[in-house]
Structure 1
Amino acid sequence: MNESTGAQKKTRRGLMFGIPLTLILGGGLSFFANVLSVQDSVCSLGFAQPGIADLCGAIGAGGKPTKRERLAWDALDTNSCEALRQHIQSFPGGVFRDDAADLLQASRTIETERWEPVERRLAIFVDGGPDPSGDVASAKSAAQEKATRKAGQMCRSFAATASYKLDSASADVTEWMCAEQGGGQVCSLEGEAVCSLQLRGIVETETCGSR
């Protein structure tokens, strides 16, 4: 083998190794320099996903999120403003930070009417009146009936406002006072008008836009 032939073989071997190495190095430099958006193209390939995108996210390439951020964003309820704030706090430099901020910017407050059961008690007094009953039991029954009607009137005053709805009214007797009168019995009573009501309330809920 003469010197010319040996030199040619060395040249061919150099080309065999040099050209691929040059291509690899050039491709790597193009990727990391994002020449002609190479990163975006490679990281968004239509196969082996989301593995390739997660790898790009791990090295901060191609505008892809890290796997941890991607999973957190996929599971996020974007209607929850608090969840969006928590995402921004957890990933302050994340890919989805601006998306979360835009959704927060579009937040609105929804007012919902809610009625809750409440009880109100008012002092009540019923006089036995001029008409006696034949016995104490009948006198008490008559006074109780008057007390129930009076409790209804008193409790309806709550329902006159927009803040209450009246469910029922009753009289809770705490003391009886009975005496003979006109050949019969009369009974007076003291107690409380028991007003079973619903109280109107407004619940404010903050909600954010959906993606």
Structure 2
Amino acid sequence: MNYHIISSDASPARSQNIIDALSSLGFMLDPDPEEQGVHPEPVVIFWSKNTTLNEVVLKTDLEALAGAGRLISVLVEKVSLPDELPKHPVVDLVGWRGSKQNPFFQDLRAYLEAASQKVAPPPPRGPVVRLVQRLCAGLTVGVIIAFAFGFALNLLELQNNLCSIGFNQPTLSDFCGKYGLGDKPTRDERVAWEAREPGSCDALRAHIDTFGETGTLHDRAAAMLDARRVTIDERWVKDVQRTIFSQSITSQVAPTEQAARLAALDSAQRVAEASCRAFSESDLYRYAGFDVQAESWDCLSLSDGHYCGFDGERLCNLERVVRTEVETCGQ
């Protein structure tokens, strides 16, 4: 990413240090724009005691640059900026000592990236960090003692709040859990809690069994168990009911043995269908069909014709309901 500088200053060494630090991060200085006054890339003004507004105005249109979000001012000496300047990001590097991690230098980096990408500049971090540092430096011994006393007794939930801040987590939380601070679980309990099966009541019971009543998350697990929901899972599975079946020799005469067998089967099928359909009178079964299998025949041949019966099996093809209680505990 390229940028331009449109002012000179009385501290070239300080400006050069900033330019070198930016170069190491990939921000390259373009000292010779193609057309005077036209800058499609970010423009930086280094302000020192020797920088004048007339010099800057002669080189560019500040209003247009500020409106496009490409104008950035950098203070390299302690000076007041002219009131005529349009509103734009200003970075205070008066006290900068060359660190790229300095929050004010990081603000400059963020402003250049935003200007290069043509997006709104992010809120500055440097002034906030400086304010916090000054507040911490100004704490009295009495405040420090009061804070330590309050932290030890967890007044105003100081332990809970400090152990829950969004910094260096979960290491900070694990440290608090190790020493019994801030109602935080130990690392082992936290890892076990995060790894449990979501919604599983058995997983909650296992957690309680493992870490006992002294576990930090015991009460939470117990409350989730108390609030569990029980539903009935219902599904239908195929089922075949096989029974021994005998068809007595019918009284109906037939002209041939084959005809007598068919008559016996017809009579047996009517009986088998009725008995299989009877299963559906219960809410446990649904009728799906039947079959009759003849295994051994007994036929008579008399003067008036043929008579047959058989021994075999009746098969009732059914669907059987399977109902299972399903426990669900909160996430």
Determine if the alignment matches structure 1 residue 60 to structure 2 residue 160. Answer: no
**Residue of structure 1 in register with 2:263 after alignment:** 142
Determine if the alignment matches structure 1 residue 115 to structure 2 residue 236. Answer: yes
Structure 1 residue 163: Cα displacement: 2.3
Structure 1 residue 36: Cα displacement: 5.2
Question: 1:1-211 counterparts in 2 under 5 A?
Answer: 26=145, 31-34=151-154, 37-92=157-212, 93-116=214-237, 117-134=239-256, 136-208=257-329, 210-211=330-331
Runs of 4+ in structure 1 off by over 6 angstroms are none
**Equivalent residues of 2:196, 2:203 under 8 A apart:** yes
Deviates more, 1:116-125 or 1:146-155: 116-125
Structure that is richer in helix per residue: 1
1:36–1:161: structure 2 CA closer, same or farther, 3 Å change rule? closer
Determine which structure has more spread, i.e. the larger CA radius of gyration: 2
Structure 1 residue 196: Cα displacement: 2.0
Structure-1 separation of matches of 2:191 and 2:305: 85
**Equivalent residues of 2:236, 2:321 under 8 A apart:** yes
Structure 1 residue 184: Cα displacement: 3.6
Q: TM-score, normalised by structure 2?
A: 0.50
Length, aligned pairs only: 188
**Residue of structure 2 in register with 1:15 after alignment:** none
Q: TM-score, normalised by structure 1?
A: 0.75
Could you tell me which runs of 5 or more consecutive residues in structure 1 were left unpaired when the two chains were aligned.
1-21
Structure that is richer in strand per residue: 1
SS of residue matched to 1:46: coil
1:174–1:61: structure 2 CA closer, same or farther, 3 Å change rule? same
**Equivalent residues of 2:286, 2:319 under 8 A apart:** yes
Structure 1 residue 102: Cα displacement: 0.7
Aligned-residue RMSD, C-alpha: 2.7
Highest RCO, 1 vs 2 (Cα 8 Å, sep ≥ 6): 1
